[in-house]
Structure 1
Amino acid sequence: MDQRLIDALQRAERMLVITGAGLSADSGLPTYRGLGGLYNGVTAEGIPIEQALSGSTLRDNPSLCWKYLAELGKACLAAKPNAGHYAIAELQRRKPECWVLTQNIDGYHRLAGSDPARLIEIHGELAPLYCQSCGAVSEELAGHLDKPLPPRCEQCAGILRPPVVLFDEMLPEKAIETLYHELSKGFDLVIAVGTTASFPYIAEPVLRTRQAGGFTVEINPQDGALSPFVDVHLRDRALDVLPILLSHTLAN
């Protein structure tokens, strides 16, 4: 383990852990391109998976969109948090100013015990469902996946949806505001875990922290967009590395 990283981890007060699909892939959860045989990114209907999982398709062809939302839901429910998620949650307990910014919609950070008050789910989550017509909140996701799709509201028969950001939809305003509010305060240490950082709002915290003199780390077996710009790149699986990092912090 790089001594500079150990020193930075022990000194850091304000921290940000950014997580992407690579962290949950270690739980056995496929990325959306791997669902239902979508390895080439095209659905059985002959359209890009991004189009099937879009806000416009949910509006115009809710049965088609829900076909793939249900696949996502089943995959998330079939897996569970791994040692990486639990290590991050424990790191938050040991570091009261440690925040988590996740691109993942599986809810595993919450299940592992991360503090919801310091968790920014920038792409939303898959549950609970709510009615697009009357706003009523429905039962948990699992109760609808084996029923006819799209799921309907028991009160008004409107179409239900999860609070997730679909393709062509805007990011949640509150999550963006929270991210940039915390980023304006600065971070001593930023750790990017299992993300290609293809979105500007994922890369920006790393780049701004490095520019301001903070320490930056990437945990990813492969090189990504951030790799040339971080202080340390650990080319290992998150579920192996994060518990080791945790061991170098003091328990309260």
Structure 2
Amino acid sequence: MDAALREVATALARAERVLIITGAGLSADSGLPTYRGIGGLYNGRTADGLPIEAALSGSMLQRDPALCWKYLAELGGACLKAAPNAGHLVIAELQRLIPGCWVLTQNIDGYHRAAGSPVERLIEIHGELAPLYCQSCAAQDDELAAHLQRPLPPRCRLCGGILRPPVVLFEEMLPEAAIATLYAELRKGFDVALSVGTSSTFPYIVEPVLRTCERGGLAVEINPGLTPLSAEVDIRLVGTALDVLPKLLSHISNDRICK
């Protein structure tokens, strides 16, 4: 893998525009569960006998908010107990070194922000866990941790309506602003697209990598297992984000990247 690492590092050192796509595998190294893939928590059915796609859906939040919040609370509790890992820090450092480096993340844990990734070059395509807001009166609530210690679902202190996080649940539309930003940047093109720890099951995650390939850019995947993208990328680095990203950064010369 050393030769492949050096090749990817060289490409990053020369690149002006880079897209790093991250999935649950990146935050798994912080101790968070993944939905699918190796060690995926929800490869089968939930404790309630439902697929996670049904339990964490927009319709379930409306029909049975307590059940939906049971699994939102599981995710929220895990995110609050953990912290960004070295992989998040490497990505933030790459963004510091490469002004044209963007991050597209499926993760809702907020760890990219916490690690120092600039918000103006961060696309959180599935939203984030906080702050909560009321579905009835739209009031904002910053007490996620406190609500997780109370009976679920959490209620608005102003009107008593049910609170929810600004995440994209299954069956819901992606945020228009995030999609618009993604495709605006895709039209400009990327020299390197790096897929990190994602099962690559969503078209909007796969498409940026394929488009980078079609335009002559370098497509790279970092993942311990095979994904739908594995046969399409130019270079596949087998391993977890925590295994690979620090080694990758160590191959990159700051003098070659800094403009």
Asked whether the equivalents of residues 33 and 41 of structure 2 are also in contact (C-alpha less than 8 Å), the reply is no
Deviations 1:50-75 (Å, cap 9, x if unpaired)? 11111011111111111111111111
| Residues 133, 42 of structure 1: alpha-carbon distance in 2 compared, 3 angstrom cutoff | same
Asked whether the equivalents of residues 192 and 218 of structure 2 are also in contact (C-alpha less than 8 Å), the reply is yes
| Residues 64, 198 of structure 1: alpha-carbon distance in 2 compared, 3 angstrom cutoff | same
The one-letter code of the counterpart of 1:123 is H
Q: Is structure 2 residue 121 aligned with structure 1 residue 118? A: yes
| Residues 218, 74 of structure 1: alpha-carbon distance in 2 compared, 3 angstrom cutoff | same
Other-structure match for 1:134: 137
Matching residue within 81, 86, 101 for 1:83: 86
Other-structure match for 1:4: 7
Counterpart Cα distance in 2 of 1:138 and 1:223: 40
Counterpart Cα distance in 2 of 1:184 and 1:39: 35
Asked whether the equivalents of residues 35 and 43 of structure 2 are also in contact (C-alpha less than 8 Å), the reply is no
Other-structure match for 1:170: 173
The one-letter code of the counterpart of 1:208 is R
Asked whether the equivalents of residues 33 and 41 of structure 1 are also in contact (C-alpha less than 8 Å), the reply is no
Q: Secondary structure at the match of 1:229?
A: coil
| Residues 215, 39 of structure 1: alpha-carbon distance in 2 compared, 3 angstrom cutoff | closer
- Work out the number of aligned pairs and report it: 250
Structure 1 residue 45: Cα displacement: 2.7
Asked whether the equivalents of residues 193 and 209 of structure 2 are also in contact (C-alpha less than 8 Å), the reply is yes
| Residues 40, 176 of structure 1: alpha-carbon distance in 2 compared, 3 angstrom cutoff | closer
Q: Secondary structure at the match of 1:182?
A: helix
Deviations 1:69-109 (Å, cap 9, x if unpaired)? 11111111121111000000011011111000001111111
Identity %: 70
The one-letter code of the counterpart of 1:61 is D
Asked whether the equivalents of residues 9 and 249 of structure 1 are also in contact (C-alpha less than 8 Å), the reply is no
Q: Secondary structure at the match of 1:6?
A: helix
| Residues 114, 207 of structure 1: alpha-carbon distance in 2 compared, 3 angstrom cutoff | same
Asked whether the equivalents of residues 129 and 162 of structure 1 are also in contact (C-alpha less than 8 Å), the reply is yes
Counterpart Cα distance in 2 of 1:249 and 1:16: 19
Matching residue within 209, 230, 238 for 1:235: 238
Asked whether the equivalents of residues 94 and 249 of structure 1 are also in contact (C-alpha less than 8 Å), the reply is no
Q: Secondary structure at the match of 1:56?
A: helix
Other-structure match for 2:254: 250
Matching residue within 207, 211, 214 for 1:208: 211
Other-structure match for 1:29: 32
| Residues 150, 117 of structure 1: alpha-carbon distance in 2 compared, 3 angstrom cutoff | same
Counterpart Cα distance in 2 of 1:4 and 1:132: 49
Asked whether the equivalents of residues 18 and 101 of structure 1 are also in contact (C-alpha less than 8 Å), the reply is yes
Structure 1 residue 222: Cα displacement: 1.2
Asked whether the equivalents of residues 9 and 189 of structure 1 are also in contact (C-alpha less than 8 Å), the reply is yes
Where does structure 2 lack aligned partners over 5 or more consecutive residues?
none
The one-letter code of the counterpart of 1:17 is I
